[in-house]
Structure formats: C-alpha cells, structure tokens
Amino acid sequence: MEPWVLVLLVMFGGVLFMILLGLPVVMAFMTANLLGAIFYLGGEIGILQMIRNLRPSVGNYALAPVPLFVLMGEIMLQTGMAGRSIEAIDKLIAKVPGRLSIVAVLGGTSFAALSGSSVANAAVVGRTLLPKMQDLGYSNRLSVGPAVAVGGIAVLIPPSALAVILGSLAKISINELLLSGIIPGVMMMAAFLGYIALRCWMNPALAPSGDVVDLSWSERLTPVLRDVVPLLLIFAAVVGSILGGVATPTEAAAIGVLASIVAALAYRCLSLKTLFDSFTESTKFSAMILFIICSSGTFSQIMSFSGATQALTRAVVDGTALTPFWIVVMMMLILILLGCFMESASIIMLTVPIFFPILNALQVDLLWFGLMMLVSLEIGLCTPPFGILLFVIQGVLGGRISIREIYLSVLPFIGLQLVVLGLILVFPGLITWLPRMLQ
C-alpha cells in the first residue's frame, strides 16, 4: 500500500469511523489530528505544532461574520419577529390553494435571508405552521416536505455562516460566494412553489383550505407592511452594503445585528431575557463551529506534510482518464453522500484540504465549485438517514408522524434540489454573473 493511501485511511477514514461510532464530531477530528501529529509530524513536536495551529485557525478576521450572522438570526427567532412575519404572509395569500405550504416556502425563504441558520429556519417554519397544517389534513408531502426543504435555503441566501466558513478555508472571495448564493436560493424557492402549485392543481385534497376568513386588502397588506417589509430592509442593508462595496462581510454582519436589535426595540419585543437567550444560543453554536475549524489547520498540515495531498492530486490529475467536469461531478456525489451522515461544517473541514488542491491543479473555477458545494451541503441537510433537518422537524412534530413518513415526504424536494444543482453544473453563468458585478 502506498504511504499516502495509508495517510488518507488514517485521517479521512478515521474521522468517518469515529463519527459512525457515535463520537462527537469535534472529538473525532481532534483524535484523528492527534494520531496524525504523533505518526506524521514527529510525535511530541507534532503535538506541540497541533496546539500552536489552534489559535491561527480561528484568529482569522474573515471568520468574524460567523457569530454575528448567527446572533442576527437568534435575535429574530427569540424575539418572535420571524414567527410574526410568517403569519403576515399567511394573511396575505389567505385564499390561495395550498396556502400554508406556500407560506412555508415564502416565509422560510424570508427568514433564511435574515438568519443564516438552517436549523433555526426549519424550527421556526415547523413550529409556526406544521401543527396547523396537520390539523387541517394536509398531505405530509405538502406540509412536512416544504418545512424540511426550505430550511436548507439558509445555506445559500446571505447571511450564510457556512459560506463564510467555506470561503475562509478554501480561499474563495467571501463577498462573491455570499452573493452567488442568492440566485440558486431563488431558484430553489421557485421550484418548490411550482411543485406545490402543480400538486394542488392536480389534487386539491392534498392541501385542504379549511375555514378561510374573508379579509379585506387592508387587513392583508397591513401585517405585511408592519411585520415583513421592515425585516426585508435588514436583508437589503446587509446584502446591499456588500454588493455596493461599502462594507466587508464582517461590517455587513455587524450592520445586520444592530438593525435586528433596533427592529426588536421598535416592535417592543426585546427584553433582557430574549437578549440573553440570543447571546447564549449564538455562543453555543459559534463555539461548536469554531472548535471544528480549530482542527482544520493541523488536518491540512498533516495531509500536506505527509505528501498525501500532493500524491492524491497527481493521481487524480495525471492518473485518471476523467475530464475535470466528471471529477467535479464525482466530488458532488461524495459531498451529498457525506451529508447523509455528517454535519455541514465538518464536511467542509474534511473535504477542503483534499478537494481544492485538485481543483486548483485542474484550473476549475473555485467560485463555481464553492457554490455547488454549498448546494450539495444543503441537499445533505435533508437527505436520509441522518440529515439534521429531518430530526429538527421530527422534534417539532413530537412524534405525530414516523421518521419514515418524514423521509418519504422530503424526497420530491430533494429531487428538485438535485435539478437546481444540475442546472448550475451545466450552466455556470447562472450564478457567476451577480458576484462578477463587483469586479
């Protein structure tokens, strides 16, 4: 066996094996790094080097938007502003067939533009709409399916914490990566809405309307103007400041947090408790993500120092008959497969040191690949058996339907996500034109 193959088995295979055994993700990475430092970085010297790598890995200004974007979403969630915006959209389209399914998609996309957290997105949509949809007799595929699928849109539409992490580790422009996610996010939303409308047209019994209160246009529009438009202005301020080149992602994230606090004060829903809960939850999530990133420096260093990265790059570039296109397709399949079992930030940390040297050697557009990587991670969040959003929705429902039913309900939406991924793969210009406007 070639030495570099053994390194891959120890590092890459070891992490996967320990995660499947039930070891926490952070501990799995740290254990693999410890073994790698002992065997490939010179024992005690390697362990000291691993410790030295921890601070530079997270002492990176480019990662500052991560906790800020998370805090912004938590403020929206804890103060109830997100739930109120979803209820306002419900009143606006009160007489539309399958309206609650459509509200799930529109409301989830709106909150995705404010939170940057897929878990929070799915939880808000699920808690706000699913009990009502279940009571009205909605089909699982038009109730549970949209609630799960729309959660993942937060991976794409800025503010996206995962986009910041990927851009930082893979040396992709964070500005461009954040902006490039808008187009596929909108494509996903349109695909979900089209599917729901088609199913409701073919079989209205899948989404019973229930008792619809006849509201005047004033009663429909007032909640939207009061509870939705001001929040969308926060999104416009965050994205507009990046697109206009007047703010870095970190500055834009700080603007978003400040605007969220001002909005909560204006709505009179900010209290010391909600502020404390927002900081507590964002600290927990950010600490988990940053702890995983701490492992990235040593992981990459071991792969490079042992020669595994260089040998694997040569093997793929020179030793296969595959074109760059098919190598990219193979990488996408690996990412989706990993998403069935692992958390998204862990997948980024695990694959970036392996994939991106190969992509650089093949002269692949890293922005294009990075965006497709985010889409693949979004699909992985919804993919059985262990996609995290499946279990978020199961928790929201409190066991009212089986996990098997949740799996079946999300399959059509996974198919739609794969179609969007395929379009981006074949037509890169769909997503690259918007960030290129910055140049």
Q: What is the pLDDT of residues 107-121, one digit of tens each?
A: 888 878 777 677 777
Residue ranges of alpha helices (H) inside 137-248 are 140-151, 161-170, 174-180, 182-202, 217-227, 229-243
Are 148 and 393 within 8 A, CB to CB?
A: yes
Residue type for 65, please?
P
Give mean pLDDT, residues 62-68. Answer: 78
Is 138 within 8 Å of 208 (Cβ atoms)? yes
Name the one residue in this structure whose structure tokens are 């549970």. Answer: 144
The top-scoring range by mean pLDDT among 123-127, 307-311, 424-428 is 424-428
pLDDT at 438: 59
Whether the model clears a pTM of 0.75, i.e. scores above it, the answer is yes
Q: What is the mean pLDDT of the chain?
A: 81
More confident residue, 326 or 287: 326
Secondary structure element (H or E) that encloses residue 430, with its range: helix 429-436
Percentage of residues of the chain with pLDDT beyond 90: 11
Q: Is the pLDDT of residue 194 over 90?
A: yes
Q: Is the pLDDT of residue 262 over 80?
A: yes
> Which band of pLDDT confidence, cut at 50, 70 and 90, is reported for residue 422?
very high
Residue with tokens 């529009």: 221
d(CA 40, CA 228): 55
Q: Which two tokens stand for residue 432?
A: 């690259």
Helices 403-426 and 388-397, axial angle in degrees (round to 10): 140
- C-alpha span between 349 and 106 (Å, rounded): 31
Digit-coded pLDDT (tens) for 231-255: 888 888 888 887 777 888 888 888 8
Q: Mapping DSSP to helix (H, G, I), strand (E, B) and coil, where does residue 209 land?
A: coil
pLDDT > 80? residue 155? yes
Spatial distance between the Cα atoms of 289 and 286, rounded to a whole number of angstroms: 5
Closest CA to 125 of 104, 144, 143: 104
Is 211 or 155 the better-scoring residue by pLDDT?
A: 155
pLDDT band at 209 (very low <50, low <70, confident <90, very high): low
The whole-angstrom separation of Cα 289 and Cα 345 is: 7
Rounded (5°) CA angle 396-28-385: 40
